[in-house]
Structures are given as C-alpha cells and as structure tokens.
Structure 1
C-alpha cells in the first residue's frame, strides 16, 4: 500500500509540474506589456498618423490586411466598409481587429458601424471622407497627419520608416497633388451638373447628369488633382470646423461635380490665404497609368516590384486581392508574417514561425528605420526643396 501511495504521489507531482510548464509556455507566447503605456505626442516626439481606410463589398479581408501592414500603436485608425457591404462583413472586420492583442490593448482601431453610401464618381465619397476625418479629430487629439487609403492600396515602407522621415517635416504641410490647369476636365468634370443619389437614397446607384452646364466660378479658382491625400490636422480642422465660410462654399459647389474628391480639398487649400503656402505637390503614391490614361491606374504585379521599390513613394495602388507582389512587399520590405502586424522598434518579442514579435512590446515612442526609408527620405527632401523655392505651391496657370 505504501508503495502504491508513493507511486500515485509521484504521478500527481509530475502531472502538476507538467501543467505549470505548459501554462508557462503558453503564457510566453501571448504575454505582452500591460496597457496603458505612455504615448508621447508633440513636436519633440515622432509624428502620429490618422488612417481612414475605406472598402466596399467583399473587402473586409483586404482592409484588415492593409491595417496590419500600416499598424503602429501611436497611430489612429478608422475602418469603413460602404453601405453595399453586409452587416456580417462589418462584424467580421470588427472580430478580426479584436483578435489582435496589441490593437485590443491600445484601443486605437475603430470600425464604422453605420456605413455611408458611396457612389462611384459622386460627391458622397467626399462626404464619407469628411465624416471619417471628423471622427478621427474627435476621438484622438494627438495625431499630425490624416492619410486616406482604400482596400486597393498598400504601403511601400514600415510605419517606423514613415514616422522617422516625417519627423523632419513641418507638421502644417499638406501632401496633395494639385493644379488649376483643368484642360479637358473643365468641360467633362467641372462644368457638367451631376446629382449623386447616394446623398439621399439608402441604396447605391450611379450619378445622373443634368442637361445644362454651368459657367466656371469667378469667386474662386477651381483646382483638381489626385484624390489620394495626406493632410495636416490643422487644415482638416479648418475644413471640418470651418471658421471661414470657404470650406462650406466649396463643399456645396463640389456636390454637383464629377469626382468631387479630385476637386474639393485641392480648391479649398489653394483658395485659402492661410493654407495655400502649406501645399506639397505630391500624393506620395506609386501608380502606373495607361497611355492615354483611363479612369483608374493599371493593376500592379510582380513585374512592377523593382520600380515600386525605387520610386521613393510611401504607398502604391492599385492591387488585385491577394496579388503575389503583396507577399513580396510583406517579406522584403515590411518583414511582416501572415496575419501579423508590421514589426517596429516597439516589438520586443521573439520572432519565429510560431511566435509573433509584436505579441510583446516596450517603448512605443522609439523608431527603428530600415534601409527602405532611404529612397523615401530622398523623395521628401526633393519635394521640400521645391517647397522652399515656392515653385510648386498652388500656382495659377494663365489660360491661353
């Protein structure tokens, strides 16, 4: 009997120690530094970005992948799936976000619960962007720049790279491709009067055209350009809070313009004495266009990889879902594993096939730029040289 009791006691102790060891191993996989941590904001610290990422029906997985690629605890994120997407997709996107430990801990990612109807080529798109900017201004008072992305975009550098380069940039600057040389757009985009049913109908339908055209305005100059913008917090506060009437006036004018997202911010900033000298004439994007250009840039693939890397751009568009070149960007530029956030200096965990380095973190206010930031830094320095010469700021081209 004594021998049996001794054997049972030994078995119990062995099982207990094995359980403790197993729990310890599992804990090492999932443990992280408790939140809250100190997020240091201000001119003496790296800038933070507010990302508005928009998608349509079937884009939940693409939006989530893009979020992982551009994630950093210091930034703020707002994800939007248009009204044509199902409630199931929105719940799925919210579930995917909650599964990521660092996003759950820092609470810096939100999903729009009541979506906006967005009509292709209509002004409902600029309404949705302004709503997103308003939310981001309200929920976070510390970010410096607003970045607009869609599910078709992807970054070409890490957030450590982006923040490191932007640390030397004046925080009132706005990166917005713009011109008032309208060319064919005057007759086909600006003067035609269109109505966007997405502004008053719950379902998604296309814009329709009025029979008459309007005269060009003489109270302000119309500017146009790329809809892919990186805007300063101060300028967005001007657009949203509107202590001057110009943003509201141009919003009403843009309501009946084809592709108003190519007109609104550009015209507001270049007609504002306070902000017209803060423009950097670039959208920071790598895109390839047909010749002659069509409505959208061509879809990028592996054959474009080298040119993308050497372009000095921060983002590229557009990509098909799960395009192979995205895996190349993840592996060679972002160093990002499948279903993991892009690692940065803040990640302190061990990196392996079964362990996510960003499941543990330390000081989120430090940066570790990689070699791929070099081209982007050169690009920004060239743009800032143009800014100093004032050769690229809201120049009004005289009609011939």
Structure 2
C-alpha cells in the first residue's frame, strides 16, 4: 500500500472540495493548487447562484469536475453524502492521483505545492486522518449534550425545525462495525479512497444508519477505515492547522496576518479557517512566504 508515484516521479494529489459560498476565496484556493492536480467540487444545493458562478469561473481550468450535489446542512448526513459523492467522482473519473485531500472553501495550503508533494512521497502510504474509538476515552468523552461520544453515533437524534434533539434511544453500528471518530478532514491514499467508495456502494445499511446521528461527517470515514485492512496505516494526524482555544467563537478561530509566523512554523500542510471578510491580506502573506504563485481563475 505504499504510494505509487506518477511517471514524472511526483505525487499527484487530488483535491476534493466541499463549498457553498464566497466565490473569490474558493477560486483563489483552487488557483493555489497544482495545475496537474484534479479538483473535484461539491456545491451545497442551497448555494443559489454560487454554483453557476463557480462553474463559469472554472471553465478554463483543466481537470476540474463538479459532482452530484446534496443539501449539506451542518451536523446532518448530507455532508457525509456530499463527501461520498466527491470520492465516487474521483474514482469514476479515471484520472491519475496518488493521494486525495478533503478541503473546505475556508481552507488553504500553508506549505508550497512542492513541499506537499515531497511530504506525501515520503509518507510510505500512510493514511492521514484522526481516528479514535468512540467507546473508549477520547477528546469527546467529556463533552456535554449532543457532542458527547459515543452518543453522536450510537444514540438516536431527532431533527425538528432545524434543531437537533438527543433521545434516550441507543443503537448499534450495522455490520458489526466499531464506531471511530475524529476530525472531518483527511489526506488519504488512492487505495483507501477506493476502499471507501466500494464500501459505501455495497453497504446500504450504513448509509441508512446515518439518519438520526449527529455530525456523521466526523465519524463515517474513520469508522470505515478503522474497521478495514487500512487500520494499521492510519496516522493520527489530519495535517491541518487550526486554533481551538482562542476565546472568541465561532470555532475554530478565523486566522489572520498575526497568525502567519505560527502557520509557517507549523509542520501541518493545510490550515483552517480563513475569511477574506475578516482579514483579506493573510493569504497574500502566506503565498509570498511559501512561494506559491496564485494564477487568477
């Protein structure tokens, strides 16, 4: 399961994007990615004209694919289904890639494309995703209410008029799976992505189980991979920089120019989250520091 290098000797990374708004920032993110990288884009069905605007903006970029869309309400199964749609499109496209990285429209690379490719070339086929057993002590165990593990996955939740309620009804994972959780974001080998795609297509009970769960996008991929032959390849690092302990919500903290030194000192490859309405200069500083040349879409 070691990484298979392309004919040019470089790792090709496919980028899978979950987006819903902010045309300027999303097009900048895509333009910062390698030209040889295929980019697969899921746009929330509630995104309005943003979908058409982004398609128009991407007409000139090769290897850009828009995938079947789902309504992606926060904490709902729709985000997981959008992720499965991206994964399936990447596999069915037949395009070459060695690793796939899931990003949101508020993410951005904090290493150059060459550094990212070099890191993954030396990764020996490891799977970069946070994954912990939800029924054992973990960082969600002491959380309250809806956020507590393993209740997120194993307790039935009701969604009424946009609000989520935790019921006393408990359930077991289908197919005898053990529930694993962690950050939604990951960088995985093509072989792992293929496994996830096949599992999803052949396991309809798992998809139905997602109804009634809370934030399933933070456990579906972990559960599939950690119950698979890829479990021993999982590295408990999603390669993402984020600040969770800054006292002003919402979380994670929106990154600013003042954070650039810490971003550059980080060993992570990507960071979240950025907002050009909060700090429109931070990405300019990052690109200048890492040497990425952003080409307008």
The TM-score, its normalising length taken from structure 1, stands at 0.63
Question: Per residue, is there more strand in 1 or in 2?
Answer: 2
Take 1:335 and 1:239, find their aligned partners in 2: how far apart are those partners?
32
Matches within 5 A, 1:369-388: none
The corresponding residue for 2:79 is 125
The corresponding residue for 1:231 is 188
2:243 is paired with a residue whose SS is: coil
The corresponding residue for 1:49 is 13
Question: Per residue, is there more helix in 1 or in 2?
Answer: 1
2:109 aligned with 1:167, yes or no? no
Take 1:80 and 1:179, find their aligned partners in 2: how far apart are those partners?
27
Q: CA deviation at 1:168?
A: 2.0
Take 2:196 and 2:47, find their aligned partners in 1: how far apart are those partners?
28
Q: CA deviation at 1:292?
A: 8.3
Deviation string 1:36-66 (CA, Å, 9 cap, x unpaired) is xxxx96477212111111211x322221111
Take 2:119 and 2:5, find their aligned partners in 1: how far apart are those partners?
16
8 Å contact 2:31–2:295 — kept in the other structure? no
1:80 is paired with a residue whose SS is: strand
8 Å contact 1:52–1:148 — kept in the other structure? yes
The corresponding residue for 2:131 is 178
8 Å contact 2:260–2:282 — kept in the other structure? yes
Take 1:239 and 1:266, find their aligned partners in 2: how far apart are those partners?
10
Larger radius of gyration: 1
Take 1:83 and 1:228, find their aligned partners in 2: how far apart are those partners?
21
Take 1:167 and 1:155, find their aligned partners in 2: how far apart are those partners?
17
Which runs of no fewer than 5 residues in structure 2 stay unpaired? 143-147
Q: CA deviation at 1:90?
A: 2.0
Q: CA deviation at 1:248?
A: 4.9
1:282 is paired with a residue whose SS is: coil
Take 1:141 and 1:243, find their aligned partners in 2: how far apart are those partners?
20
Take 1:291 and 1:213, find their aligned partners in 2: how far apart are those partners?
35
8 Å contact 2:28–2:294 — kept in the other structure? no
Matches within 5 A, 1:132-171: 132-171=86-125
Q: 1:140 to 1:73 in 2, by over 3 A?
A: farther
Moved more, 281-290 or 72-81: 72-81
The TM-score, its normalising length taken from structure 2, stands at 0.84
The corresponding residue for 1:361 is none
